[in-house]
Structures are given as C-alpha cells and as structure tokens.
C-alpha cells in the first residue's frame, strides 16, 4: 500500500514539475511562434503576391497594388504566355536538361565522394586542387572557347556537361559516407562484393535521405538554368525555359495577336511577368511534396554528420 502511494506521489510530483516547467517557458514559446509566423509571412507573401498579380487586371492592380484577394480573376496574362508555342519547347528542353543533368550530377558526385574516402597516392594534393576550383576558375573566355572546341555549341550537352559536380555538395556527402560504419563494407567484401556493389547496394541505400536532398538541390539548379543557354545556345528551339520566358516578357507587345485584340485582351506587363514566374516555379513545387520526407531527413543528417 505504501509503495503504491509513493509511486502515485512520485508520478504526481513529476507531472506537476513538468507542468510548471512548461508554464515557466510559455513566454519563450509564444515569442518563438510569433517570430516564426512573421518570418513565414515574409517568405510566403511575395510568392502569394506573384500569384495574385498574375490573375489580376491592370486596372485593379493600379487601384490596389497591395491586395489580399483579387477582385476578379483574369486569365489574360496566362493566355498571352501560353499563346507562345516556344513556351512548351523551352519547357521540354528544360525538362530533359533537369532529368539528365540530375542523373549526371548524382553519379559524378556520389562516385567522387565515395572514392575520396579511400586511401590512394596523391589524395591530399588532388583534394587541394579540387577545392582550389571553388575559389578560382579559368575565366569566361577560355571556358567559352573550350565548349566551342569540343563541339558543344548550340547543343543540349552544353547545358548539362559543364557542371558535373558541386564541390560543396560532394564534401557533405563524403563526410556522411565516412560516418557509415566500416563493418558494412567489410562484411560485403568478405562475401565477394566489388566496390561498385558496396556503393550502390549498401552505401547509397543507407544514405538515401542525403542523396535525395542533394538531388533536389541539383534539380532546382538545373531547372533555373539560363546562363549557359544564353552563352552557348543560338537556336530558338533549343533554348531553356528561363530564356523563353525572358523573351516572352521582353517581347510581350509583339505577342499580342489580332484574336487577342478582338477578345479585348490587353497585355499587363507585371501580370505577364508574374504569370511567367508562377509557370516556372510550379513544376518544382509539385515535386517537392513527394521528396519532403527525404529532404527533412537529409537536412537533419547533414546538420549532425556534416
């Protein structure tokens, strides 16, 4: 009986201490919630405003530049953007560049990260030379001449091949590979597994959250690619999406056809720009929810292991 009473007393005391501790820290929790909400609002409102302006007419926007809801949904800006067939061509080019580029980036990055966890002659010197490229490069003109000499001008390869590895991403993945216990590798090698088998059958499955996280980073970089397209692509049907949207925005006056004028569609400069932004960011935003679980895990792992 005494033990039961003492157990109940201890449980009651622990509960009261926990409650008092929560009440004691409530002020911090409230401040943290308010700060987080304000920070989220600062980040989300520009995106929300872009969507609003894309669905707003010029007259309504002039009257109320700062709005929370559109007075009337207007699709003229999207009609002007989608009227250009070059948009779909640019989206198809960017989709191929993103898909092939991410595969190319991950293969190169993972192989380099795994190889630099091994011991081989000249490893330290090679690592120094690799990190040297993070701060210095050969310059734009030699880079342009190199792409021209190897025959990549005006090809999709010029959008994919020049950027193979992000040294920063490779470093984080390498450190995580090094944190995986050596017992996994040794047991696989005892069973006769090769280095590639160990990498693709053991190491990568264990590091999948990290790999998916950097795959998303690479995908965003590839989807937003425009600089190499501006330098190396001359044909209109090979231009990436970002350059196509840029040309649509700069030439929106020429995009207005007689059918648009008959329908009473008047180009709204800011509306066309925001519609272009929404079209550009929507595919990546649709992919993110499917990778969110791995993305959160990868960030947590990178914060602890990296």
The radius of gyration of the chain from alpha carbons, rounded to an integer in Å, stands at 27
Low-confidence residues in the chain, pLDDT < 70: 1-25, 249, 251-267, 291-306
175 Cβ neighbours under 8 A, 6+ residues apart: 305, 306
Burial class (CB in 10 A: 0-12, 13-18, 19+), 105: buried
pLDDT tens-digit series, residues 24-37 = 557 777 888 888 88
Question: How far is 169 from 268, CA to CA, in rounded Å?
Answer: 41
Dihedral pair phi/psi, residue 154, rounded to 5°: 60, 35
SS3 assignment, position 137: coil
As a residue count, the chain comes to: 306
Q: For the whole prediction, is pTM greater than 0.85?
A: no
* Residue 255 near residue 268 (C-beta atoms within 8 A): no
User: What is the signed CA dihedral for 231, 233, 236, 238, rounded to 10 degrees?
Assistant: -130
pLDDT tens-digit series, residues 119-155 = 888 888 988 888 888 888 888 898 999 999 999 999 9
Question: How far is 250 from 10, CA to CA, in rounded Å?
Answer: 73
In the chain, domain spans: 80-305
- The CATH class of the 80-305 domain is mainly alpha
């Amino acid at each position: 009986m005494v033990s039961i009473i003492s157990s109940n007393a201890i449980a009651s005391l622990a509960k009261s201490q926990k409650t008092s501790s929560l009440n004691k820290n409530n002020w911090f929790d409230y401040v943290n919630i308010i700060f987080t909400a304000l920070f989220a609002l600062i980040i989300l409102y520009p995106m929300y405003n872009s969507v609003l302006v894309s669905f707003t007419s010029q007259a309504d926007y002039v009257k109320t530049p700062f709005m929370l809801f559109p007075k009337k949904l207007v699709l003229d800006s999207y009609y002007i953007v989608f009227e250009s067939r070059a948009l779909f061509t640019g989206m198809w080019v960017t989709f191929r560049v993103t898909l092939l580029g991410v595969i190319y980036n991950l293969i190169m990055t993972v192989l380099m990260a795994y190889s630099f966890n091994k011991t081989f002659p000249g490893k330290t010197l090679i690592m120094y030379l690799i990190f040297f490229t993070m701060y210095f490069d050969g310059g734009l003109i030699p880079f342009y001449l190199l792409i021209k000499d190897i025959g990549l001008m005006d090809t999709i390869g010029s959008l994919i091949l020049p950027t193979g590895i992000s040294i920063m991403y490779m470093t984080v993945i390498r450190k995580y590979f090094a944190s995986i216990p050596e017992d996994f590798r040794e047991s696989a090698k005892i069973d006769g597994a090769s280095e590639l088998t160990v990498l693709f059958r053991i190491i990568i499955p264990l590091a999948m959250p990290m790999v998916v996280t950097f795959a998303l980073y690479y995908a965003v970089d590839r989807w937003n690619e425009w600089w190499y397209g501006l330098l190396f692509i001359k044909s209109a049907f090979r231009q990436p999406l970002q350059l196509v949207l840029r040309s649509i925005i700069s030439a929106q006056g020429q995009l207005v056809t007689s059918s648009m004028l008959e329908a009473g569609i008047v180009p709204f400069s800011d509306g066309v720009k925001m519609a272009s932004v929404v079209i550009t960011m929507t595919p990546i935003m649709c992919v993110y929810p499917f990778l969110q679980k791995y993305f959160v895990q990868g960030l947590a792992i990178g914060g602890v292991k990296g």
